[in-house]
Structure 1
Amino acid sequence: MAPLFISRIVSSASVGFGQLALAWGVMDLGYGARGLSLVMACNAFPALLIICGGVAGDRFRRHYVLMGAETLACLSWLAIGAALFTGRAPLALLCVLAAVGGVATALFLPTLRGIIADLLDSPNRPAGNALINQTQSIGLLIGLVSSGAMVTAVGPAWSASMRGVLCGLSVVLLSRLATSRPSEPGTGPLRDLRNGWREFGARPWVWIMTLQYTAITTAVVCYTKIAGPLYATDGHGGAWSWGIISACEPLGAVMGALVGARWRPGWPMSAAALLPVSVAFPMLLMGSGAPWPLIAAAAVVPGVLQAVYYVLWATALQERIALDVLVRVNSWNMVASYLLMPLIMLVSGRLATILGAEALAFWSGTTAIIATLYALIWLRFIAWRENPSEIETKRLWRKQTSSASSEEAGSDIGSNTQP
């Protein structure tokens, strides 16, 4: 397990370097908000391959799939760094290279959650999920803070190249793992996809949380990829301040993972659905034109709560879904939000140009709040429909417990008055 956790620190640090490198690299070349949104859309466009990544993660050794994804990311980001070093990279080239990086992400994300189920037994999975989240947060924190300084001091080309180097180091670490091959013998890829979809659709709580996840991801993408960098550039501290703001969320996640490893709520799905609304806090502050240090402080809160959410959600999937279809269900859980990303990138770039970064951030936060309210309502409705007596039974139990306690207390008082 140690190579996996160290790899997550290294790879997540590389994400921090790439996040700022691409945004400031495109803007430094003079392509503006529309060019930035186009490049980000191309980076998100290969999201359809997430379901293919789910099939690969269930058919091949999962650490091999992760190694392949990291190798592809290494090559694409080294090429992006080289293009930025020229100082006149064509927008089309940056779009193509960003798309290659998106393919790597599509292969990597669904498989990561499945590998914990491979390497740990059931009692240890919550702690494993928490540690994965914590190591990712530490790495992202290091990457964002360091990349903000690097972009400011020597430029985005060095930051993009650093991401490529770190992805290569992650490949070496992942090669030290050993996982079994969990594929279903005698089935083809199309049948694997259908089986994964059937398992996904048979669980209403999964697809309701998926719809909420899609809306939350849309809001976060608009905020982090478009509104935030534009807001920071427009007189709010530049790349350095946005690096600090972005780093505050993983800073909170380091603490939140400790809570997630220990907390066992009575209504885990409702708790998991409520926690993501915290992403709206810094968005609404940015929408009101707040100074960047206040936004940075507010970003710690969603960091804490999102880490708890990750542990609850990942553990729920690992415990309730068979290991041989787990990655495919994960991929269907992710694909809707990632499919929308290219469109969201293009639309948000235009909206930021027309309305401004502050308005885009405000409406992103509002979207997150509305999506959470709908998810909570539907989850409670489904729980009542599937077991209408469950809620009433708990109420009656509490009432009977309260009555019994009162009667017992009365008996005690009466017995104390006897001669």
Structure 2
Amino acid sequence: MANWYSECSPLERRTFWASFGGWGLDALDVQMFSLAIPALITAFGISKADAGLLGSVTLFFGAFGGWLGGALGDRFGRVKALQITVATFALATFACAFATSYPQLLVLKAIQGIGFGAEWACGAVLMAEIIRAEHRGKALGAVQSAWAVGWGAAVLLSALVFTYAPAEIAWRILFAVGLIPALLILYIRRGLKEPPRAASRAAEPPFFATLAGIFHRDVLRSTLIGGLFGIGAHGGYAALTTFLPTFLREVRHLSVLGSSAYLAVIIVAFFCGCVASGIISDRIGRRANVTLFAAACVVTVLVYIFAPLSNSQMLVLGFPLGFFSAGIPASMAALFSELYPAGVRGTGVGFCYNFGRIVSAAFPFLVGYLSDHIGLGAAIGIDAAFAYSLVLVAVLMLPETRGKVFEQATAARA
């Protein structure tokens, strides 16, 4: 990481850290939900399927937010859209702390989903347009690794809060804390500059034309296959992580602190996998990189869930599980950005990355439903393996885009 980072301009570095921080805070706010599921089930007297629906609602509206956020970035500028989206997901997370009923929580999780879906689309395209082509995969892979940082912070906060606070108020404390760090990101992003194309807004198309532009015949194939890619990537991740803490506690009978140790291994591995995927992607190409990580995901998930492993063996296998599951999302920002021309790049990236959430929103609910019939472990394993298989199918139909130079790259560095 140090070599490519040392070659970056001050603008590229500021953009990197702003995007890294925003995505990390997204992860902090979103992952606190999965860690609070057992407490939410007790607090509101809901089933696992109801809890899974909360996650599904967040994913579904995240898809809408990503499409909308990408189009807003194309139309009004990346930085302005980023500031709005950070405020949206942070305030929605904070409001979850004061929910008094299950329907209220559903609505607030929907608003949170809109915010974090839009934030990723704006931040990923901004970074893709600012960073030079030869470092795009490494930089965006490193940005994606911020999810592990936020996830790890959520695990630490959860272990601390649930250890020292009663369960009935601990989950409220977690959601309330989600507001605080976002204020720093809002301050940092005021110093960012729009990419030259976004700052020069001559002959802008109508906003709804921007939304529909990704269905033009010139880019329709990329949109359809990219959407399938998103379904597999998000479906696998959602099926695996939404109920993983619950699986470790209820099936493996680990305490909060014990399950946190297992999650820590996966989170560290996720960070390493994001960085490694970015490096490999720039060296061997986007398609070969995704194929490698997706195939490894299918095998590792099945072994982790179905093999008769001891707790110690699960701890060891947790590293490749987290490592390989990271490689797919870490490659998506660079790949999707390189599929689209400048005028619809934000819209295309936002749609492909987040459309998967519309369909993958069913995966947490399906895991919760199937767990009542075949057990939680089997439900997670089957759903996750199927989803990662979709990624393999999609990536084989996409073109290789490594090294693509964007229209405004030279002007941005200047």
Return the alpha-carbon distance in structure 2 between the equivalents of residues 200 and 344 of structure 1. 32
Identify which range, 217-226 or 277-286, moves more after superposition: 277-286
Deviation at 1:363, TM superposition (A): 0.8
Return the alpha-carbon distance in structure 2 between the equivalents of residues 224 and 334 of structure 1. 18
Return the alpha-carbon distance in structure 2 between the equivalents of residues 234 and 200 of structure 1. 49
* 1:272/1:309 contact within 8 Å kept: yes
Distance change in 2, residues 1:12/1:48 (3 Å): closer
Return the alpha-carbon distance in structure 2 between the equivalents of residues 373 and 147 of structure 1. 34
Percent identity reads 13
> What is the aligned partner in structure 2 of residue 188 from structure 1?
206
Indicate which of 390, 405, 409 corresponds to 1:371: 390
Return the alpha-carbon distance in structure 2 between the equivalents of residues 58 and 124 of structure 1. 23
Indicate which of 289, 294, 297 corresponds to 1:279: 297
CA deviation digits over 1:62-81, x for unaligned, max 9? 12212211111221111112
> What is the aligned partner in structure 1 of residue 84 from structure 2?
68
1:355 aligns with 2:371: no
Deviation at 1:138, TM superposition (A): 2.8
> What is the aligned partner in structure 2 of residue 34 from structure 1?
49
Larger Rg: 1
1:198 aligns with 2:209: no
* 1:77/1:101 contact within 8 Å kept: yes
Indicate which of 153, 157, 160 corresponds to 1:149: 160
Deviation at 1:6, TM superposition (A): 5.9
Distance change in 2, residues 1:227/1:251 (3 Å): closer
Q: 1:345 corresponds to which letter in structure 2?
A: P
Q: Output the TM-score relative to the length of structure 1.
A: 0.78
Return the alpha-carbon distance in structure 2 between the equivalents of residues 19 and 232 of structure 1. 15
Return the alpha-carbon distance in structure 1 between the equivalents of residues 52 and 330 of structure 2. 31
> What is the aligned partner in structure 1 of residue 37 from structure 2?
23
Structure 2: runs of 5+ lacking an equivalent:
1-12, 401-414
Indicate which of 113, 130, 134 corresponds to 1:102: 113
Deviation at 1:5, TM superposition (A): 5.2
> What is the aligned partner in structure 2 of residue 220 from structure 1?
237
Distance change in 2, residues 1:243/1:201 (3 Å): farther
1:240 aligns with 2:251: no
* 2:41/2:48 contact within 8 Å kept: yes
Deviation at 1:159, TM superposition (A): 1.4
CA deviation digits over 1:185-209, x for unaligned, max 9? 33112211221232784445x6435
Q: Output the TM-score relative to the length of structure 2.
A: 0.78
Alignment of 1:285-364 (within 5 A): 285-288=304-307, 290-364=309-383
Identify which range, 267-276 or 60-69, moves more after superposition: 267-276
Return the alpha-carbon distance in structure 2 between the equivalents of residues 305 and 273 of structure 1. 11
Distance change in 2, residues 1:318/1:45 (3 Å): closer
Q: Secondary structure of 1:359's match?
A: helix
* 1:252/1:301 contact within 8 Å kept: yes
Indicate which of 50, 70, 75 corresponds to 1:54: 70
> What is the aligned partner in structure 2 of residue 270 from structure 1?
288
Q: 1:197 corresponds to which letter in structure 2?
A: F
Return the alpha-carbon distance in structure 2 between the equivalents of residues 12 and 297 of structure 1. 28
Q: 2:314 corresponds to which letter in structure 1?
A: I
Indicate which of 69, 78, 95 corresponds to 2:94: 78
CA deviation digits over 1:79-100, x for unaligned, max 9? 11233xxxxx311111111111
Q: 1:224 corresponds to which letter in structure 2?
A: T
How many pairs were matched up? 375
Distance change in 2, residues 1:277/1:169 (3 Å): farther
Q: 2:213 corresponds to which letter in structure 1?
A: N
CA deviation digits over 1:115-159, x for unaligned, max 9? 103432323423421331333433332332332332343222221
Return the alpha-carbon distance in structure 2 between the equivalents of residues 258 and 45 of structure 1. 28
Return the alpha-carbon distance in structure 1 between the equivalents of residues 69 and 87 of structure 2. 15
Return the alpha-carbon distance in structure 1 between the equivalents of residues 262 and 146 of structure 2. 19
* 1:212/1:375 contact within 8 Å kept: yes
Deviation at 1:333, TM superposition (A): 0.9
Return the alpha-carbon distance in structure 2 between the equivalents of residues 239 and 283 of structure 1. 24
Return the alpha-carbon distance in structure 1 between the equivalents of residues 73 and 139 of structure 2. 19
> What is the aligned partner in structure 2 of residue 165 from structure 1?
180
Structure with the higher fraction of residues in helix conformation:
1
* 1:49/1:107 contact within 8 Å kept: yes
Q: 2:125 corresponds to which letter in structure 1?
A: G
* 2:65/2:116 contact within 8 Å kept: no
> What is the aligned partner in structure 2 of residue 388 from structure 1?
none
Q: 1:61 corresponds to which letter in structure 2?
A: G
Return the alpha-carbon distance in structure 1 between the equivalents of residues 331 and 239 of structure 2. 25
Distance change in 2, residues 1:163/1:287 (3 Å): farther
Return the alpha-carbon distance in structure 1 between the equivalents of residues 315 and 26 of structure 2. 20
Deviation at 1:372, TM superposition (A): 4.7
Q: 1:60 corresponds to which letter in structure 2?
A: F
Return the alpha-carbon distance in structure 1 between the equivalents of residues 363 and 185 of structure 2. 30
CA deviation digits over 1:10-66, x for unaligned, max 9? 515623652345423312313231321232232223133422122112112212212
Query: CA-atom RMSD, angstroms?
Result: 3.1
